[in-house]
Amino acid sequence: MSRMEFLNLNIQQRLPSYVLNYIARLPRDYGTPQIYRAEDLSYKLKGLFNVNLIYKVSDLVYMHVYRTSSYRTYGRYIVIEPPQPHPRLMELVEFKLAMNIGEEDFSESIQDRTALLLEKLESIVRVIDNPVDYGRVNGKTSRIPVYKGDLEILKYYVRRNIAGLGVLEPLLSDPWIEDVSCRGVGNLYIVHRLFGTLETNINFSSKEELDTFIIRLSERIGKPVSHSRPIVDATLPDGSRINIVFGEDVSLHGSNFTIRKFTEKPISITQLIAWNTMDERMAAYLWMTLSNNANCFIVGETGAGKTSTLNALLVFIPPNYKVVTIEDTAEVKLPHNNWVRELARPAAGESTVSLFDLLKAALRQRPNTIVVGEIRGQEASVLFQALQTGHQGLSTFHAGSVEQVIQRLTGDPIRIPKSFIPNLNLVVIQNAVWRGGKMVRKVMSINEIIGYDPKSDSIIYVPTFLWDSVSDTFRFTGKGASYMLDKIAVIRGLSRLEIKKVYEELELRAAFLRESVKRGIMDYFDFWEAVKRTYEMPLEEAVEALKNGVLLRGVRGSV
């Protein structure tokens, strides 16, 4: 049976001819790929090594992921696009569009620019029923004749190359991509949320081609690179972060860039539990402490998943709180209604608005909670002043241990007095580790900052949860003796004999989380709805309602 015979007729009818041609041309040893839509992919596929599937990203763009244990170091990620329009047609269209667009048509919104381009395109083309020999079209014609079968493909490439970012556009439109990396001449690499690092079929064949692309890209995002300014950090129109290094002066392999993709919907805490990034008891502990105004840093190395965990934990901030988030790149996302989102504006001179400036302004806005995307410099001193005056604070921080956190906070350039450090209640250490031949994220420990000892000039802290790398499980080392849980008991007016009630509540919250994972409540906003229910009824009733499948009745995606 041929590959095309194996694909059932229904699937063949749904696939464009260029995708079917691509499948027909695959080497025989590839086998027949499974066909998906991007929204039909699931985190259940995460960790699979042998993969052969095609999924639809948009009306005209499909992605083929292929990886087996015998195929190269990296798997392959192939962008399947419609065939390029005739070069002469694109040349005529670009010329006519340039002639018809003026300064008054400028817009910072990518959606508005795209809509304008398509509107102008409609005014400069004439759709006809018969195929056109574009090589013979007169460039002086008022409206360019376009065969009706070519119109949608022409619109796609106008959006891609003129309104969008060219060859990068399909990668930016794929919601399953975390990072895009160009190391220099050669193929681009991506980090896929399900399948890890993959080599793409998009490549730059020469340094000249790569340099030209990077110069145009940097100009388009308003941060032009040059040999005198070879390093640029910027934000793409979709919110993704890009770092560009231009030329061979500072990069021996030539120009390169890395894109950190913006995620529209955060990963939920239930998904992190399902991946065993942490267990349900750790999540329940963080739920109890954060809902009681604990201050917390998510700490780890680059690529440890700190921001993903921060976003996941923000559902534990009480739903009636006013929350202010402060970032230099928009990555933090909250489900709260009373959410003030502020973004630093890097610029020259007096027009610069830094994280430091935004933090000072936030203190006048009377928030319950302040979330800083990442603490790096002098903004830390303002945040710690906020913590000292009773505001709840959360952030991410680059370090590998509690000791390194303290060293970085108290050393240059941050210079927080050691006596201020105990205002930080929790340090969650998270890192990426290799297990079974693949990289996974793990919460290595949750640490309670207990106090400052002036005699030894040291910070006293205790790990209350630890990851056991041998068994790949998490140990509750603070069971029955957690400083933070005991503190919550005191706030609630419980006596020493009643402290066990706090630990019983911890187990009840863990049961709620365990049942949520069991029932497949993995969507970030669905789980937020589940958490909100716990503020409307006793926790015991919420757990029972969840077990009976009625807690989220009527909520989209509930099970």
The span from the CA of 13 to the CA of 309, in Å, is 42
CATH for 269-480 is: 3.40.50.300
DSSP 485-537: HHHHHHHTT--GGGTHHHHHHHHHHHHHHHHHHHTT--SHHHHHHHHHHTTTS
pLDDT digits (tens, 9 = 90+) for 470-491: 999 999 999 999 999 999 999 9
CB atoms within 10 A of CB 45: 15
User: Taking Cα atoms as reference points, which of 482, 477, 468, 408 lies closest to residue 433?
Assistant: 468
Contact 164, 240 (CB under 8 A): no
Cα-to-chain-centroid distance, residue 60 = 24
Q: Given this model, what pLDDT does residue 114 score?
A: 85
**Range 362-388 burial, b when 16+ CB lie within 10 A, else e:** bbeeebbbbbbbbbbeebbbbbbbbbe
DSSP 54-115: EEE-SSS-EEEEEE-TTS-SSEEEEEE-PPPPPHHHHHHHHHHHHHH--GGG--S-HHHHHH
Tell me which DSSP letter residue 366 carries. Answer: -
HSE-CB at 264 with a 13 A cutoff on CA atoms is 7
Question: Looking up tokens 């990068």, which residue turns up?
Answer: 168
Please name the amino acid found at residue 198: L
End-to-end CA distance of the chain: 40
Neighbouring-strand partners of residue 67: 51
User: Taking Cα atoms as reference points, which of 396, 233, 271 lies closest to residue 327?
Assistant: 396
Q: Angle, to 10 degrees, between the axis of helix 355-362 and the axis of helix 379-388? A: 20
Contact 524, 490 (CB under 8 A): no
The span from the CA of 259 to the CA of 235, in Å, is 9
Question: Looking up tokens 């063949």, which residue turns up?
Answer: 12
Q: Which two three-digit tokens encode residue 399?
A: 């370090």
Q: Which residues in the chain come in under a pLDDT of 70?
A: 1-13, 70-73, 103-109, 346-351, 554-559
Rounded alpha-carbon distances, angstroms, from residue 437 to 69, 267, 433, 440, 469: 11, 23, 10, 10, 14
**Range 415-431 burial, b when 16+ CB lie within 10 A, else e:** ebeeebbbbbbbbbbbb
Contact 231, 250 (CB under 8 A): yes
Question: Looking up tokens 């105004």, which residue turns up?
Answer: 293
pLDDT digits (tens, 9 = 90+) for 62-121: 999 999 876 666 899 999 999 999 999 999 999 988 888 876 666 666 788 888 888 989
Q: Which two three-digit tokens encode residue 179?
A: 């990072």
Q: Given this model, what pLDDT does residue 347 score?
A: 62
Contact 383, 362 (CB under 8 A): no
Rounded alpha-carbon distances, angstroms, from residue 142 to 100, 145, 530: 12, 10, 60
Q: How many helices (H) and strands (E) does the chain have?
A: 18, 21
Q: Which two three-digit tokens encode residue 6?
A: 């194996």
Contact 483, 446 (CB under 8 A): no
What secondary structure, in 3-state letters, does 195-210 show?
A: CEEEEEEEEECCHHHH
Q: Which two three-digit tokens encode residue 251?
A: 């990069």
Rounded alpha-carbon distances, angstroms, from residue 392 to 306, 389, 418: 18, 9, 19
Q: Given this model, what pLDDT does residue 275 score?
A: 93
Question: Looking up tokens 């709840």, which residue turns up?
Answer: 392
Rounded alpha-carbon distances, angstroms, from residue 50 to 45, 109, 254: 10, 40, 34
Q: Given this model, what pLDDT does residue 64 score?
A: 97
Domain ranges, ordered by start, for the chain: 3-82+169-260, 87-165, 269-480
Q: Which residues contact 203 (CB under 8 A, 6 or more apart)?
A: 185, 186, 187, 188
Rounded alpha-carbon distances, angstroms, from residue 412 to 225, 381, 404: 30, 12, 13
Q: Given this model, what pLDDT does residue 559 score?
A: 47
Which pTM was predicted? 0.84
Q: Which two three-digit tokens encode residue 5?
A: 């015979």
Q: Given this model, what pLDDT does residue 147 score?
A: 95
50 three-state secondary structure: coil
CATH for 3-82+169-260 is: 3.30.450.370
Please report which helix (H) or strand (E) contains residue 218, including its range: helix 207-220
